[in-house]
Amino acid sequence: MSIDFDAWEQRLPGLHVSALAVDLDDDTVVFDHRPDLVLDTASVGKIFLLHRLLTEVDEGARSLEDTVTRRPVEWMDDSGLWYLLQADTLSLHDVAALIGAVSDNAATNTLCRVIGLPIVQEHTRTLGYLDSGLDDVVRWPRPPGAPVTLSHATAADLVRFVRRTADGVDLSLASTDTLQRWLGAGMDLSMVASAFHLDPLAHYGYDRGVWLWNKTGTISTVRADTGLVMSPTRRIAYAVLANWERGTDVRDEVLEAMRQAGEVLKAGLKRE
């Protein structure tokens, strides 16, 4: 089973796609399309913030039991859950869990203040992700002079991040497990992951023979999905990033195309 990304872009003028999927155990490329193209990835870059937090935990500079109090300026609704909660003070673990599970904007802003956005950006570059990163905190309306994207990435960088996380290369065993659990709680299965028909509230563990963790990004001109999908015998790291022109309404077509990419991954998991 294959997928024609060129056909997506030809059928939907103004669409730009960066995609890559790799079987981690035999290095088979399941699909690829302009994997080095830098695109807007909306909330996907929050993974670099979570990674930096766990690096500092591994270094002994922080504990996930440390607490932090959200400031009024960091309050953001729309994406997340914290804005509906009464508690203003949470542990760093719970703040990060909110980011992994529901891409929480208020939690992102609070954790960025605690860690420091420049530190996250330098950490990302040090790890070798030169074409990807978290660009800003979440702001609305965006003030003059602020970065135009929350994050940017290439499919190649994101697949490398997923691979290194799956293999426990950069973090301790405990932190690697924690990061995967946070991302495994992600409730957005509307994109590539939709092909697997998993329980959106409980898929960190085998469901229908598939185990998934992922991070997505969504704004009006972006759909992005990256993660790891596993069967008992195969592990595939993937990233599918789609950007389109403001003012065009191609969201439904893009979501269907991303689902098709998920179907290719599903077939890849069954490969002998």
pLDDT digits (tens, 9 = 90+) for 51-97: 999 999 999 999 999 999 999 999 988 889 999 999 999 999 999 99
Which pLDDT value is given to residue 122? 98
Q: Where are the beta strands (DSSP E) in the chain?
A: 16-23, 29-33, 39-40, 67-69, 89-91, 133-134, 151-153, 211-219, 222-230, 235-243
pLDDT score of 241 more than 80: yes
What average pLDDT is seen over the chain?
A: 96
**Structure pTM?**
0.97
Q: Which residues of 19-48 are buried (b: 16+ CB within 10 A; e: fewer)?
A: bbbbbbeeeeebbbbbbebbbbbbbbbbbb
Give the model confidence (pLDDT) of 176-222 as tens digits.
Answer: 999 999 999 999 999 999 999 999 999 999 999 999 999 999 999 99
The residue with tokens 């992102």 is 108
- CA Rg value for the chain: 18
Structure tokens at 25: 């155990």
